[in-house]
Each structure stands twice: as structure tokens, then as C-alpha cells.
Amino acid sequence: MNEALIQALGEIDRPGDVCVSGDLPIMMPGLVVDGLGKVSLPLGSSQARELIGCCQQAPYGKGTQTLVDTSVRRVWELDSEHIQLTNPKWPLLIDSIIEEVQEKLGLRSRKLTAQLYKLLVYEKGSFFLPHRDGEHADRMVATLVVVLPSEHKGGALIVTHDDREYEIAFPGAASGYELSYAAFYADCQHEVKQLEQGYRLCLTYNVTLTQSRRNKSRSKKKLGKRGLTAPSFGAVVDKISSMLAEWSDVSEQSKLAIPIDHRYTRDGLTLDKLKGIDRSKAEVLFEAAQRSNCLAHLALMTLWQHGTAESYWDDYDHYRNRGDRSWHAVEEDDEDGLESEYEMGEIFDTSLGLNHWSDQEGRNVAFGEMRLDETEIVTEVPMDEGKPSEENFEEYTGNEGMTLERWYHRAAVIIWPRKKHFSVLSEAGANAAIGGLQIMVEQLSQAPNAQRAAQREACLSFAGTIMDVWRADLERQSLYGVDRGNRKTFLDLLCKLDDLELFQHFLAHILPIDGEIQLDVLFVKFCRRHGWQNLSAGLLLTMAEANRDTLIRNAELLRLVCRQRDKNPERIDLCAQLCDCFVEALKTFDHQTSAPGSWIPQQLDRAMLLKTSADAMLAIDAESSLNRLVDHTWHKPNDYPLNDVHLVAIFALAPRLKKPSNSRAVFLRWLANCRQLLQKQTARLPEKPLNYRREDKLSCTCADCRELSQFLKNPGQRELRLRLNKQRRRHLHGVIDGDRSDLLHVTERSGSPYTLVCTKTTASYRRAVKIYERDLKSMVRITDIEKRVTAI
């Protein structure tokens, strides 16, 4: 099938656009009309009437006849033989328009020329019903209309082809300040709507194929007197839709990726921004997919390779001249790719995937990253043929040789059968599946009432499948760092679907294991609609299964639920249970992290954890839970230090206490504990050193460090000079910095080896003074808070 599909797409030899239009800065053509003389622009009404007097009523073709009928065509015309264009630069302007026409219509390989045909004058009420132009010249391709500046309204040109309609209003010329032009294939049906006001003055040209002498005889045999007709790809669509229908029925493949030619940026990958033939091919594929009951999207294919780097130059010349050239990337819309200085040798690792999705209407689709198999790509050109899009080169490091990373990006149309939609997205992971569900939920809101129940059931079923995939994704993430995207979207979709059983499943099976899911006001509204007690089991399970990734999120969830202003007894009772559960989970977690030999990493914002959870407990006056929380954290000073955790939490929470509560007594005991510890820490002023003796305990006991330790212990020696090689100096630098010794250490770069100069400082004393002053200020703040809380 791949070969047949490639062959069918090969029949698309040019873009599908059939017309080109635009506005240009005004240039006077030097228009001279026989019997009238030079025509001034913008065209005035008096001269327009004089010009009409020189013209005749324009006829139209009907079969082999040429007729004049103002009910079909009402416009004035003058043959080109009665017209002179005296500006010598005017032909250059027409040539530039033809170049634009060739580019936009995909005819760069053809040579076109424009021949002046008629002058047309439209007055109020002029029009031309739908028609096709006859072949006014041999090898005619298109009609070019250049509209000269003359104020008017209405008279839009409508070009129709293959059920697509293009409307051209000539705004520049209609304003009286610019030229406007339009060119369209001669065989396209078109019409001119009625002119509502003013006059329109047009020069029409026949655009024909030009023959070179070399190809004249060959082209004559092939085309005769015929030109090119407007592109029509209906037959190609029929072929490809038949192929896709058969493929979707018999193939085990889940999807196809059909690359397109030009390079595109991640942000510019939408159907309307595709270039030339790419757009025609994509439109054909989208149409064929729709007819064959398949789904199609645009996406960016990325092949990543990591391997050894082999250079094209010798090492000496490279390191003498190279400079910093370790990273390269292709500029936007670079057709040729990256010119690399390196060659990929042995490939260690590789990946192939899809991302940056959009649909036929150009809307972004949140499928995220999706893996792709090489067998799913319909192409004759390997992904890594040609120049890479991005490259990262790393030089020799230690025992490692030079390595090279390369990225090859290609845009593609991705197609899969509609009946396999759920399975394709599920296989790609929860992130892609959530993007698919988002589209389904948006469509559900617009569905007719008769179809809504069935579509909602499909959404609920797919949402359940996503949750099954979710767990597998989390396992893969821990191993391979899977891109997880924005999972919050799924929660919003659940709230819109408004199904209690599905939400209960989410709370029980996903929320406890995924700490990146944040619940918000939509969740609160859902609980109010369905009853807090109906969601209590999942919330309690979430609090009980706390770990490093979920603790902060659980504290924020606790605060969200507890700080609601309603007096719902069901909610308040659930909040009390959640507070108790949270404290027990925190105690279990802290016990695990402090156990001997524990491997659990302890990177955790404990100040945020304590502040947020205590805020929740104060909101519902959970005295017992708050007391156990404060007591637990106070007796673990290594995990919850006074200044960095307890005081941060207290200073943030103090403004919350504005009325009497049972929790006030717990808060006062907490304040008293902090005050007493601060009083102990500020009982004695730091003592300034009386001599040069400094703390001499070092983390290393090698010979150099022992000598350094003796120097630190010596009360009369201020400076130590050590002539050491680079490796020994580097070691001492590291020990001094790591142990925060009171030493200034610099390298004196004279002689060989260099000399390490160590000079004693009073850094420890200065640090102690800052801590003392900080503690004094904190004690004043704590005392003031105690007074205020006591007075409540």
C-alpha cells in the first residue's frame, strides 16, 4: 500500500490554489485611450463617463456564439488595440505580478507571459453572472485583472473551483490609493457581483505559457494550443480514500505517517500555513481520511540520534580555529537544514516520535508526545537522510570520546481509523488520550439532544480507560522520564462530565499516586453537587497514602477543603477526619525518612508543608490535629528547624488568628516554645576571636589537611603558604569551602608549582553575629504576636 499511496500523491504536481490576489503601491500606467487621450488616476466621474463613451457594451460567450445581453453581463469594454500604456516601467510591474502568480500557483518551472487583452469599465449596477473565460490565446493558463485606482464599492470577484469559493474585493484600488490585482486559472468559474457605487477601471491580460525554442516542438506535440487547466485532485482523493478504507479493515498497523516536504517550525504547523504542494497533499489526505472513516492530524515527526562524532578536519586545525561551536539549530523555515562539521559514527541510542498536533481547522490538539514506529512512515526517503534540523556536539571528557546528538524534524499528516481512535491514544499514553477526551467533551457540549446520551457514555468509557493507562504512565515516568503534559485538564473534564462514580474512581486510584494533580474550585463545586460524604473515601485514601511527591499537594488540598466558608456539617466532619489522617501520614513519612539506611530522598519544602496544613486546621478549629502536628514537628528539629520552618509558618499564620477558638491555646504553646528557644539562643553575645586560633576540625585527614588543621589551631599564625601541584591545591580548596573554614584561600601564580596562600578570617564570628541579630528580631516579633493572640 505504501508504494501505491506514494504514487497517488505523486500525481499532485502543483498547489491546489486557483487564484492569487493582492494590492500594490500605486504606479501610473500612463494610460492613453484613442479618441480621449491620457486618462488621469484616480479615475474621476466625469472622465469615467467620457471613457465609457469610447467603449462598447461587453459581450459574453454562449457555446459558439458571442452575445450581448445586459441581463447576463453589464460592463463596458475597449480592445487593447485602442489602448497605449506609456510608462516604460509598467511592463516590469506586470512581470513582477506574473512572478508572484507563478510562485503562488506552483508554476515556477513554467514560463508565463502576460498579454494585454481588454480595458473594462464598471459603473454603478455593472455585473457579470457566473461564467468561464474562453481561450482568448493559444496555451492560455490564466486571466490577470489589474484594477487601477478609482473609488468604488461592491463588485467583488467570486472564483469557484472544486466546491471552494474565493472572494476578492480589490480593497486597494477601491480606496483610490493603490493598485489591486487578481489572477485565476482561465477554466475556473467566476462572477463579478454588482458594483454598488462609483466606477471600476480594469486592465485584463491573457496569461499564457511561453515556449523556449528548444522545447517548442516537444511542447507543441504534448499540449498543442491548450494551456494548463486549474488543478483538480478529486481522482487522487478517490484513489487514496479507497486505499485507506481497505487498510483500516485489514492492516494491523494502528496509524500512518505521511511526511510532507518543506521544513516547518513547531509553532507554524497548521494546514493554512503549509507551503505549495504540501498544502494540496495535506488537503487531499484530510479529505480522503474523512471519506474512509479515518481521522487525520498534522504533527511534527522527530528522529533523535545519539552516537559518536567523527570530524571532517584534523584535531590540531580544529582546536586552533573552532571557537565555541558545540550547539547548532536550523533557523525558522530553513529549507536545507543544518550544515554540520561532524559526521555521525556509531549510534548508541535513538527515538522516533510525534508532537505539536493540529487538526484540519488549524486548532492545536493536546495529544502530546506519541511514539512512532519506522514501519508506520509512508516514505521513500529515510528520516535521517540529508541535513539534521538540530545538533549538539560534546568534546572529549575524561575517558569519553566526542559525542553527537542530532534531531531530524519533518512535518507529516498522521492518519488512523476512527474505530481505533481510543486504542491509538491509549497506546500513546494518558497524555495523548486526555487530548482526545478533551475534543470529545467539547463536541458533547454541541451535540444534538438525541445524540448527547450516547456521546456522554462514550466519554465516560474513554475516561475510565485513561485512568487505567495513567498508572502505567507513572511507572514509565519513573524509569524513562515520560512527558506528562498538563494532567489538570483531565480533572476539568471529569467535572464537566459530572459523573460521581467516575470521580470516585479517580480519587481512589489516581490522586493518591500522582502528586502533580491539583484540585481546585471546580472540585469543590462537584463535591457540593454530589455530597461531601460520597467523596470521603477517596479523599481519606489520598491523605493516608502520602509520600514525598504528594505531601505538599495534600496539604494544599486540605486547606482548599477546610477553608470553604459554608457551615455544611458534612464537609466540616470530613475535614476533621482529613486533618487527623494527614498528621498520621506525615508522622509515618518522617519516620521512614529518618530511619537508619533510608533511601527516601528528603527534598521537601517543610515550611510550606507546615504552614499550609496548620492553616487548614486553624480554619476548622481542629485543635487535636493541630496540637499533634505542632508537637510532632517540634520534636524533629533536624527536619523542622526553628528559623527555616517553624518561624516561617508562624509569621505567615499569625494574621489568620482574629477571633477566639479552641486552637488558640495550641498556637500560644507553639509561640511560647519558639520564644523560649530564641531566648536560649540569644542568652550570650557571640565572642570575637582574641587571637588567630580557629576551628580546626576538617572533614579530611590527609597529610595536607593535617598541616592545614595545625595551622588553624595555631593562635599566633595568620598566614600559611603551601607550594603544591594543581591536584593538591584543588583538594584543599574543596575542603576549605566544604567545611566553611575561616580562611581566605587564593593561588599565587608564580614559580612552579604555584603557591596556595591561606589567610585566617573572622567569617564564623560574622555569621554568628548575623544569626544573633536575626534571632533577636524574631524574638521581638514572637513576643508581639503572643500579646496580640492572648488579647483575642
- With respect to residue 546, please indicate whether it lies within any of the assigned structural domains: no
Q: Select the more confidently predicted residue: 593 or 127.
A: 127
| Choice among 32-36, 345-349, 480-484, 629-633 with the minimum mean pLDDT | 480-484
Looking at residue 155, its pLDDT comes to 95
Residues 267 and 412 in one domain: yes
H-helix or E-strand spanning residue 186: none
- With respect to residue 84, please indicate whether it lies within any of the assigned structural domains: yes
- With respect to residue 122, please indicate whether it lies within any of the assigned structural domains: yes
Strand partners of residue 371:
353
Full residue range of the structural domain in which residue 738 is found: 703-761
Alpha helices in 54-206 (DSSP H): 90-104, 171-175
Question: Does residue 161 surpass a pLDDT of 60?
Answer: yes
Residues 202 and 244 in one domain: no
**Angle at CA 467, nearest 5°, toward 612 and 575?**
30
The DSSP annotation for 434-465 comes to: HHHHHHHHHHHHHS-HHHHHHHHHHHHHHHHH
pLDDT band at 244 (very low <50, low <70, confident <90, very high): very high
Q: Cis omega before residue 42 (within 30°)?
A: yes
Indicate the average pLDDT of the chain.
Answer: 87
Strand partners of residue 355:
300
Looking at residue 425, its pLDDT comes to 87
- With respect to residue 543, please indicate whether it lies within any of the assigned structural domains: no
Question: Does residue 536 surpass a pLDDT of 70?
Answer: yes
Residues 32 and 152 in one domain: yes
Query: Rounded to an integer, what is the distance from CA 243 to the centroid of its chain?
Result: 33
Of all residues in the chain, what percent carry a pLDDT higher than 70? 89
> 655: how many CB neighbours lie within 10 A of its CB?
9
Residues 242 and 315 in one domain: yes
Average pLDDT over residues 635-658: 93
Of all residues in the chain, what percent carry a pLDDT higher than 90? 59
Residues 5 and 52 in one domain: no
CATH number at residue 740: 3.30.1370
- With respect to residue 593, please indicate whether it lies within any of the assigned structural domains: yes
Looking at residue 216, its pLDDT comes to 46
Q: Select the more confidently predicted residue: 219 or 83.
A: 83
Per DSSP, 646 falls in state I
Average pLDDT over residues 42-55: 94
CATH number at residue 63: 2.60.120.340
pLDDT band at 135 (very low <50, low <70, confident <90, very high): low
Q: Are 734 and 698 in contact (CB under 8 A)?
A: no
Question: Does residue 602 surpass a pLDDT of 70?
Answer: no
Residues 757 and 782 in one domain: no
If one counts the domains in the chain, the total is: 4
| Choice among 391-400, 420-429, 568-577, 667-676 with the minimum mean pLDDT | 391-400
H-helix or E-strand spanning residue 427: helix 421-428
Looking at residue 324, its pLDDT comes to 40
Q: Select the more confidently predicted residue: 65 or 152.
A: 152
Is 160 in a helix, a strand, or coil?
Answer: strand
Contacts of 791 (CB under 8 A, 6+ apart): none
- With respect to residue 254, please indicate whether it lies within any of the assigned structural domains: yes
545/508 Cα distance (integer angstroms) = 10
Q: Helix, strand, coil % (nearest 5) of the chain? A: 45, 25, 35
Reference 495, options 458, 472, 521, 461; nearest CA is: 521
- With respect to residue 196, please indicate whether it lies within any of the assigned structural domains: yes
Residues 341 and 306 in one domain: yes
Looking at residue 516, its pLDDT comes to 84
Three cell numbers, residue 140: 492560455
Residues 257 and 108 in one domain: no
pLDDT band at 399 (very low <50, low <70, confident <90, very high): low
The DSSP annotation for 346-377 comes to: EEEEEEEEEEEEE-TTS-EE----EE--GGGB
| 692, burial (CB in 10 Å: exposed 0-12, middle 13-18, buried 19+) | middle
Average pLDDT over residues 666-684: 95
pLDDT band at 338 (very low <50, low <70, confident <90, very high): low
Average pLDDT over residues 109-128: 93
Domain boundary residue among 393, 428, 463?
A: 428
Where do we find the cell 498579454? 115
Question: Does residue 332 surpass a pLDDT of 70?
Answer: no
Question: 61 phi and psi, to 5 degrees?
Answer: -95, 135
Residues 200 and 112 in one domain: yes
Directed axis angle between helix 500-509 and helix 449-480, to 10°?
A: 0
Q: Would you put residue 197 in left (φ > 0), alpha (ψ -120 to 50) or beta? A: beta
Three cell numbers, residue 636: 524533629
Average pLDDT over residues 521-545: 94
Q: Would you put residue 396 in left (φ > 0), alpha (ψ -120 to 50) or beta? A: beta
Average pLDDT over residues 420-431: 86
- With respect to residue 412, please indicate whether it lies within any of the assigned structural domains: yes
Average pLDDT over residues 125-147: 87
Residues 413 and 352 in one domain: yes
Residues 335 and 279 in one domain: yes
Strand partners of residue 62:
65
Looking at residue 597, its pLDDT comes to 54
Reference 495, options 486, 485, 503; nearest CA is: 503
pLDDT band at 327 (very low <50, low <70, confident <90, very high): very low
CA distances from 430 to 41, 484, 579, 657 (A): 64, 8, 31, 43
pLDDT tens for residues 614-634?
Answer: 999 999 999 999 999 999 999
Question: Does residue 403 surpass a pLDDT of 70?
Answer: yes
Domain boundary residue among 428, 451, 472?
A: 428
Is 603 in a helix, a strand, or coil?
Answer: coil
Domain boundary residue among 428, 456, 490?
A: 428
pLDDT tens for residues 374-384?
Answer: 999 998 888 88
**Angle at CA 386, nearest 5°, toward 385 and 387?**
130
pLDDT tens for residues 186-240?
Answer: 888 999 999 999 999 999 999 998 865 444 444 444 444 556 788 888 889 999 9
Residues 153 and 249 in one domain: no
132/184 Cα distance (integer angstroms) = 11
Question: 426 phi and psi, to 5 degrees?
Answer: -65, -40
Question: Does residue 316 surpass a pLDDT of 70?
Answer: no
pLDDT tens for residues 431-482?
Answer: 888 888 988 999 898 889 888 999 999 999 999 988 888 877 776 554 334 4
**Angle at CA 267, nearest 5°, toward 358 and 240?**
35
Question: 412 phi and psi, to 5 degrees?
Answer: -155, 155
> 176: how many CB neighbours lie within 10 A of its CB?
16
